[in-house]
Structures are given as structure tokens and as C-alpha cells.
Amino acid sequence: MHGDDLTAEERLLLRGRPPAAALRWAARAAGGVGAEVVAVEALEGGTSSAVHALDVRDRAGRTRALVLRRFVRADWLAEEPDAPLREAAALDIVAAGGLVAPRLVALDPRGAEIGDGRPALLMTRLPGRVVWTPPPDQLDTWLRGLAATLPQIHATVLSSASAPATLTPPPAPTAPTAPAAPAAPAAPAAPTAPTAPAAPTAPTAPTAPTAPTAPTAIGRYSDWGLHVERPPAGSRLPAPTWERAFAVFDRSPEVGDRLIHRDFHPGNVLWRDGQVSAIVDWACASRGHPDADVGYCRENLARAHSVAVADRFLTFHRALTGAGELDPAWDVRAALGGYAADDLVGWSTREDAFLAQAVARL
């Protein structure tokens, strides 16, 4: 699952070396004139985009560890056309909120700068590795770490569904929170600007011009399983179970105002020395209800391990957050997204068990 079953054609598209133009763009964005990419490595796990680790060395000999994501799958972009802008916006938001996540370095939202028409995003690379199957004696520690990560994400309130996403509170450090006080001292990062960075007369950004703020909002949550077969061919659940599941799925999901990852599962969490070191892959970030992430992670845990492991994760999450009982509708929505996934082969029995439990709890 999550990239383990790529065809040869998909592997070439997603894991093959990035084109020279993309590497030149990354080098210039990260290190300026004369910088060069000195190391390239495909990162395993992703199926929606090509993700590579890069080392970029500038003319002074300094090296930056980066990640280049190129949105190379036209079919996926057709379903998530705003993903490049959404991820860039999300990275700006989580940076302002202090979450341990990559930082945006550069964005080519339409592939115009690279020249191949494929959107690309450059971000910092953080230490850590993905853990899908911890040692048995570390299972609870692993589940607690996953559960403890979600409240950090969901602490961010998005201001509205249509306006550019911001933290509420606090505002981003560069937000013009005091327009009536022009005499405020200039930020230390802008010694050449005599006025506050928010002043309309400031002609240029005072810091890193290669880290643009994405001009887009974080959109509302939408379900993954919108195009799933009814019922999916791989399922052995009886028709009444599916009728109840689709009756729930076809209702609009509960509205929420929190930042949600929308693709939160063990494959998007990095670990180092037994601790969560980073949360990655923000291309699906949305504005919605926190339990959308809880249900989605539970579905992934049920598929990779068992329903019992998914239930234990929920126990830890509720103990940490004090939230009430999980509405099983979120499990239903997550399960239908799982049935719609390309990598369901071999996992339908566990998916059936997860959905059957959710429907029984409705």
C-alpha cells in the first residue's frame, strides 16, 4: 500500500530522475545564481506526485537539504487541481503556528518556470523516517505519538472558507495587525526598510524572496470516495450494509473550521529517536472537522494492521483531547475513500471489517 504496488510505468514517472530544467529551477530558487544540485534521491511512498530529496550547494559551498515535489499525474491533478497552491498555503500556515513540518522554499504553480507545465513545489527536508510497522512492544508508543500529533494540527482555526487561510489567533508574524501605528520599529529582518514591513509603501519583501505566500485559501473538506463503485467490486459485505453506508456517505459532512491534514496516516509522519519529527505531505490540507483526520487515520491503521489497532489509536486520541465519542460517519467516509484507492488489492477483507463495525455503530 502507499506506493508498494506501482507498475513499471508509474515507477518511472514517480521515481525517475527529475528533468534537468526542474533541477535547475530548484537550485536557483534555493541557492541563487551559481547553485547546483549535488545529490538526488527518489523518496518512496507517494503515489500522487514525484517526490525527490535534493542537496543544493550554493557558490559559497553551503548545502541545503530539500524536497522537490512535482505534480506529474494528470489524473490526480484533475481531481485535486489546487493541490500545489493548497500545499504551499498550508506550509505557510503551519510555519506560523510552529508545527514541525517542511518550510516552503519556492513554488511553480503551473510549471511555467520549469517549462513542462507540471506544477512543482520546493520545501525544506526534515530528518526522520516513516514507520508503518513498529516492534510489537512499541506499538502503544507509536499509536500515542500519532494520536498526539493531530491536536497540534487541529489547534489552527481557519478564518473562513473563502478568504485566504490565516491563523486565528495568533496572526502570522508579518500580518499588518497595527495599521494605525506607523511609528512601530522595523522588524530586525528588514534593516533597509525604515517602516514596518506591513506598510503599503514597502516596495519589496524584507525576507527570502524565494519563499512566496501562496495566493489561495485552504478549501473545505471533501470526501475521497466520491467516485467509488456502488458497491465496490472487491467487497463481500451484504447489500443492507452498503445501503446504510451510502445513506450516510451521501449526506453532507459536518462543517468544521479547523485545519485538517486530510491525508493523515503513518506514511506522512516522520519519526526520529522514538519521537515524531515531522508531519509531511500537505497537498490535501483542508478546512473541516478534526474527526475527518481521525477517521482517515483509523481506516489506514485498520487496513495496515487491524480494526483493534485502529480502535486503540482512537482510545489514545480521545484520552489526549477529551473529545467525545467518534461519530461513526467519519469512519464510513474514510472507508469509502479506502475502497476507492488504487492499492486496495489484498486489503479488502480488513476494509470490510472496518466498514462493518462503523455501520453497526450508526
At residue 214, φ and ψ (nearest 5 deg) are: -70, 130
* pLDDT single digits (tens) 144-159: 999 999 999 999 999 7
Angle, helices 307-321/290-304, rounded to nearest 10 degrees:
150
* pLDDT single digits (tens) 13-45: 888 999 999 999 999 999 999 999 999 999 987
User: Which own/partner pairs from 38-45 qualify as long-range (CB within 8 Å, at least 24 positions apart)?
Assistant: 38/63, 42/14, 42/15, 42/16, 42/17, 43/67, 44/3, 44/15, 45/2, 45/3, 45/130, 45/267
Q: In whole angstroms, what is the distance from residue 131 CA to residue 128 CA?
A: 9
Give percent above pLDDT 70 in the chain. Answer: 81
* CA angle 148–154–158, rounded 5-degree value: 165
CATH no. of 8-124:
3.30.200
Residue 263 binned pLDDT confidence (cut-offs 50, 70, 90): very high
Whether 313 contacts 150, CB under 8 Å: no
Whole-angstrom CA distances from 112 to 18, 27, 91, 214, 282 are 16, 16, 21, 16, 22
Residue 219, Cβ density class (10 Å: 0-12 exposed, 13-18 middle, ≥19 buried): buried
| Average pLDDT rounded to a whole number, residues 310-336 | 98
Would you put residue 128 in left (φ > 0), alpha (ψ -120 to 50) or beta?
left
Name the residue ranges covered by the structural domains of the chain.
8-124, 129-163+217-360
Give me the pLDDT at residue 80, please. Answer: 87
| Average pLDDT rounded to a whole number, residues 284-290 | 96
* pLDDT single digits (tens) 181-194: 444 444 444 444 44
Looking up cell 530548484 gives 26
Q: In whole angstroms, what is the distance from residue 158 CA to residue 97 CA?
A: 12
* pLDDT single digits (tens) 204-235: 333 333 333 333 469 999 998 888 999 998 89
Give me the pLDDT at residue 343, please. Answer: 52
The fold of 129-163+217-360 is: Aminoglycoside 3'-phosphotransferase; Chain: A, domain 2 (3.90.1200)
